[in-house]
Amino acid sequence: MLLPPPASSEKRADKDTAVSAALKCAYQIMQQRIISQPKDMMGVLLFGTEKSKFRDDPTSRSGTGYPHCYLLTDLDVPAAEDVKRLKELVEEDTDDLDELLVPSTEPALMSNVLFCANQIFTTNAANFGSRRLFIITDNDSPHAGDKAAKSSAAVRAKDLYDLGVVIELFPISRGSKKFDVTKFYDVRPPLL
């Protein structure tokens, strides 16, 4: 997600990395929701990062409980500071973004990502009727060859499903490599 797209002479060709495009999308949605649906809650959870962070509350589980997951913006009604921080991350070339987006040398376990999301939903939006988790990724096989990790992720996805959380996948394909949902995300019962 951090690699720039292949060079192209087309005017409408992608110029952003996949993660930059995803953060820009989150910023724009957050900005629009503040105006159109001011009571909607939003959050941004990055995964696959070297840094780990889960809330600042010292009584809560630390970021090390969810390795390679970074809670950029906790699930809440977006405040002006949240929108401003996302805007700075996507529009300015900051050291913060470069430091934050260092990819982990180990893969992020999807079971940890989904469990982290579960904790966020159950503590911040326990009584909401509509809850959605958007997963934006260019990795169509995060647990290639690891049946136990894949099974664990499926269990966590079912936990979210049982809570009424709809998981929506936004696969990113670039160039000739197409995203193959059958490798991981198309599991029965549905993972996503």
Q: Kindly state the average pLDDT of the residues 162-175.
A: 87
69-76 and 131-137 as β-strands: parallel, antiparallel, unpaired?
unpaired
| Per-residue pLDDT, 2 | 45
Q: Kindly state the average pLDDT of the residues 151-158.
A: 93
Q: Kindly state the average pLDDT of the residues 103-120.
A: 92
Q: Kindly state the average pLDDT of the residues 142-170.
A: 92
Q: What is the residue-wise DSSP string for 86-138?
A: HHHHHHS--HHHHHHTPBPSSPPPHHHHHHHHHHHHHHH-TT-S-EEEEEEES
| Per-residue pLDDT, 120 | 93
User: What phi and psi values does residue 141 have, to the nearest 5 degrees?
Assistant: -145, 70
| Residue-averaged pLDDT of the chain | 81
Q: Kindly state the average pLDDT of the residues 13-35.
A: 78
| Per-residue pLDDT, 56 | 66
| Per-residue pLDDT, 86 | 87
The larger pLDDT score, comparing residue 81 to residue 117, is at 117
> What pLDDT digit, counting tens, does each position of 44-79 carry?
999 998 989 998 644 444 446 889 999 988 999 888
Domains and CATH numbers, the chain: 18-183 (3.40.50.410)
| Per-residue pLDDT, 78 | 86
Whether 162 has a pLDDT exceeding 70, the answer reads yes
| Per-residue pLDDT, 148 | 95
